[in-house]
Amino acid sequence: MPQTASEALMSRVLSKEAHVAVLGLGYVGLPLALLFAEKGFRVLGFDIDAEKVHLLQQGGSYIEHLPAERVAQARESGRFEATDNFSRLSEMDAALICVPTPVGNHQEPDLSFVEVTTEEIAEHLRPGYLVSLVSTSYPGTTREVVMPILDRSGLRVGQDYFLVFSPEREDPGNPTYSTINIPKIVGGITPTCKELGVALFGQVVERVVPVSSPEVAETAKILENVYRCVNIALVNELKTLLHRMGIDVWEVVDAAATKPFGFSAFYPGPGVGGHCIPIDPFYLTWKAREFGVRTRFIELAGEVNTAMPEYVVARAAQALNTKGKALKGARVLILGVAYKRDVADLRESAALQILELLRAAGAEVSYSDPHVPAIPRLRRHRLDLKSVAVTPQTLGASDLVLIATDHSDFDYELVVKHASLVVDTRNATRALKQNRDKIVWA
């Protein structure tokens, strides 16, 4: 008796004969592609950026925390290849969609990358094909956006082809958790879809968490990021209050964190960055309007976090005023432009907003970041700046040094010794004993 499409695919997955396509080779897609290759699958990575494809084919890496040696080993094994030729999707058994899901100018979801990528897959869809959306989106995206495009092929979901949602949970630069040991949630359109998705991801990660539907998986991912967004907003708002009260917010949080139950520590900063926290909550608020619900709590948290760069610039202006200087014409050196410590990721970085706000106020702005030698052209930013070295000379020539990202590479004792004024948004200088009169916390 001939095998059904699902039985044939399951056999190929369990034997690791299935060929896996990863579409979008950024911070999510490339680690996933390399992991599948390292676990014995043949992987074809797709990206529209020909320069990225060429570098990967040469065994190089453009993501700092993914060493080139790892790419080179995957290439040498013969199990990983990168391409911008989407016709090769016809060679695959599974396609994992890892493309950007940004928001538009009015905080509305932009699913254009997902839609275009799904259309490419639909052109090459055949019986026994598994598709997984990995990119974060609002509840209903897999069923309402991806599935109708695939259905145009005439194939039937759950019988001919199989569709799941399995959200990314990457944390670039995290030394403890990476793709292999972060549990993978999987929700399928049908039970067979879920079974195949669980089987595929179960071949490469330590733990798979099956859920009843794509909507549950989509909402779980959004909840994770809303949770962080709201709690960061809480401490950011608390910071502005406690500054006026003369109370150290970081000391307050550290003291509260000694409670062994019922409290998770979140720390303030100059704003939020990365793909998840600044963007994903707005996907949920947008979807909620379809059901006549206004998510006021989430929207307020977004407003608080979005306002933090302006708060930092105001604090910088106040600090300069105490030295008899105006922000206009002041020479300001920003330390760190990545969105988090010890990575090169610029996505939605609050530091970039601070740079632009300082420029708009008339300041002469420069920056130093050991992970970002130059700021490239970005979707929302055109800064055209290159990193400068942190030396006694560059520090002494600045009217104000603003710590936006607390990279481990920075010598904060050197910074405070030679700078005339320091605005610290990350509490990076807390342990310093000398020259504390130069430091303003923001």
In angstroms, the CA 399 to CA 327 distance is 9
336: left (phi over 0), alpha (psi -120 to 50) or beta: left
In angstroms, the CA 207 to CA 185 distance is 9
In angstroms, the CA 330 to CA 320 distance is 8
Q: Is 121 helix (H, G, I), strand (E, B) or coil?
A: helix
List, in order, residues 6 or more apart from 336 with CB less than 8 Å away: 351, 367, 368, 369, 403, 404, 405, 406, 407, 410
Which H or E run includes 31? helix 29-38
Nearest to 84 by CA among 53, 125, 42: 53
Q: What's the one-letter identity of residue 105?
A: N
Decide the pairing of beta strands 400-403 and 364-368: unpaired
Indicate which residues carry an active-site annotation.
276
As separate numbers, helices (DSSP H) first and strands (DSSP E) second, the chain gives 16, 13
